[in-house]
Structure 1
Amino acid sequence: MLNLHQVAVTYPNGVQALQPVSAEIPRGRLVVLLGPSGAGKSTLLRCLNGLVRPSRGTVEAEGVGPIFASAAALRRHRRDTGMIFQQHHLIGRLTALRNVLTGRLAAHPGLRTVLPLPRHDRLLALQALDRVGLADRALERVDRLSGGQQQRVGIARAMAQEPRIVLADEPVASLDPATAERVLGDLFRICREDGITAIVSLHQVALARRFADRILGLTDGRLAFDGAPDGLTDSILQEIYAGPAPAGGAERLAAAAE
């Protein structure tokens, strides 16, 4: 479980990127952070993975406690947390398999990582690629794969880490709608099968409604909505996106948000 208690972030330039947010996220829940650019979604994710220390409030993880309490607590939390990025962050000249194997590095002492990883790790990496439908591309350079395939390699890399939590920052923003749906489908299917908590920031309202168990809607750094997808009404979407709903209601507003 993740527990956020009055988490707020004010940057050194005085900008308050995140107003106090409190939320409990049980293990295995699939959560979407929804909102326009600049709403605070990325800042909140960076608090959850320990890249940004909140100006106030606490982030607690099950089995770790407050993640900023010590360097050891933060390292343990990061070992348990897989990250998926919008721009993949893959090494283009390496194969899909070798990219996925980088997700195993944190499981070993620093000196051990200069040697070939054990067979167990290679099997985990191959299994992760198979779960996203890319086992047949394991030995292909990732710079020869499509954008959607590269993002699925990114998912496999995160899953090879054997995480308890997966955080994804707009992982389908650069993909066409059909590919975006497949990538999110793979991610949420695996998380649901393995009981992994997933927290994913999106712009696409329709995808949030389809895949999320719970939606956190952010606007101007504050939490404007916290609930099930069917509670995301036109009026709440108007509040989140700070403008009148176009003709056609929520679905057109969803398209505008994309």
Structure 2
Amino acid sequence: MLSVVDVSVTYPNGVAALKATNATFARGQFIVLLGKSGAGKSTLLRSLNGLVRPTRGDVRNEAHGSIFASGATLRAHRRRTGMIFQQHHLIGRLTALENVLTGRLASHGFLRSLAPLPRADRIMALEALDRVGLADRALDRADELSGGQQQRVGIARAMAQRPEIVLADEPVASLDPATAVKVLEDLHRICREDGITAIVSLHQVELARQFGDRIFGLARGQIVFEDGPEAVGGIALDQIYQTHPAELAVAAE
């Protein structure tokens, strides 16, 4: 279980990106943070891994309490938390396999990570690629892959960590609709099979309904909705998007 307690984030330029937020994310669920750009989704997501440090409040997990209790506690939390980014963050000149292997580095000390990683790590990386259907592209450079394939390598890299939690920040925002569904199907299936808690930010309403066990709607830096996907209807969308019906129809596409 992961929770935020009275978390707020104000950036140095004075922008209040997140306002006094409380939420609990249940173990093993596929949770969607839904909202338009600037709603606070990315700030909340990155606070859950300490990439953005709250101005006030705390992030807590059941293993260590506050993730900010010490440097060692934060590192331990990050080791058990995989990250998937919108723009992949792959190293283009490296192969898909080499990119996935970077997900194993945190499991080794600094000096050990300078040498080639053990065979067991390479097997884990290959297995992770196989689970997203890319074992046959393991030795291809990342920059030779399509956008959807690169994002699936990003999923494999996160899974190579053997995480308990996965945080995905708009992982399909740059993909066409069919590819977006395929990427989310892979992520959803793997998280289900491994009992991983997934917290995924999206702006596509239909994808949130299709994949989310629980949906948190954000608007203007606050959680304004929390319920199951079946409850994401007109009133809920008006709360989340705070906009006109025509714009809601576009968001739902």
Aligned to 1:249: none
Matches within 5 A, 1:46-125: 46-125=46-125
1:33 is paired with a residue whose SS is strand
Structure 1 residues 214, 254: CA separation in 2 closer, same or farther (over 3 Å shift)?
A: farther
Q: How many angstroms does 1:57 deviate by?
A: 1.3
Q: Where do 5+ consecutive residues of structure 1 fail to align?
A: 247-251
Aligned to 1:167, the other structure's residue is in SS state: strand
TM-score (norm 1): 0.95
Q: What is the match of residue 163 of structure 1?
A: 163
Range that drifts further, 231-240 or 202-211: 231-240
3-state secondary structure, aligned to 2:14? coil
**What displacement does 1:142 show?**
1.0
Which residue of structure 2 aligns with residue 10 of structure 1? 10
Distance 1:94 1:243 in 2: 44
Give the Cα–Cα distance (whole angstroms) in 2 for the partners of residues 239 and 30 of structure 1.
22
Correspondence for 1:219: 219
| Backbone CA RMSD of aligned residues | 1.1
Contact 2:32 2:202 in 1 (8 A): yes
Alpha-carbon distance, 1:256 to partner: 3.0
The equivalent of 1:127 in structure 2 is 127
Distance 1:13 1:203 in 2: 25
Looking at structure 1, the residues matched to 102 and 187 of structure 2 have their Cα atoms a distance apart, in angstroms, of: 18
Spell out, residue by residue over 1:138-191, the C-alpha distance to the aligned partner (whole angstroms, 9 max, x if none). Answer: 111111111000000000000000011100110000100000000001001101
Is 1:256 aligned to residue 230 of structure 2? Answer: no
**Residue identity matched to 1:217:** G
Asked if 2 retains the 8 angstrom alpha-carbon contact of 1:206 and 1:254, the reply is no
Does the CA contact (< 8 Å) of 2:205 and 2:251 recur in 1? no
* Partner amino acid, structure 2, of 1:111: L
Quick check: 2:92–2:142 contact (8 Å CA) kept in 1? yes
CA contact (8 A) 1:36 1:257 kept: no
Say whether residues 1:231 and 2:226 are aligned partners.
no
CA contact (8 A) 2:61 2:67 kept: yes
Q: Distance in 1 between matches of 2:152 and 2:51?
A: 24
Percent identity between the two aligned chains:
70
1:177-225 Cα distance to aligned partner (Å, 9 max, x none): 0000000010011011101010010111000000010001000001110
In 1, the alpha carbon distance for the partners of 2:62 and 2:92 equals: 35
Query: Residue 32 of structure 1 contacts residue 200 of structure 1 at CA under 8 Å; is this kept in 2?
Result: yes
Mapped to 1, the partners of 2:81 and 2:252 lie a distance apart of 28
Gapped regions of structure 2 (runs ≥ 5): none
The aligned counterpart of 1:35 is: 35
Task: Give, in angstroms, the shift of residue 257 of structure 1.
Answer: 5.8
| Mapping of residues 172-211 of structure 1, within 5 Å | 172-211=172-211
Normalised TM-score (structure 2): 0.97
**Counterpart residue type for residue 57 of structure 2:** G
Alpha-carbon deviation of 1:61?
A: 1.2
SS at match of 2:217: strand
Residues 87-139 of structure 1: CA deviation (Å, up to 9, x unaligned): 10001111110000000000000000111100110010000000000001111
Deviation of 1:254 after TM superposition, in Å, equals 5.1
Q: Distance in 2 between matches of 1:9 and 1:225?
A: 19
2:44 aligns with 44
Mean CA deviation greater in 26-35 or 100-109: 26-35
Any runs of at least 4 consecutive aligned residues in structure 1 with deviations exceeding 2 A, and if so which?
252-258
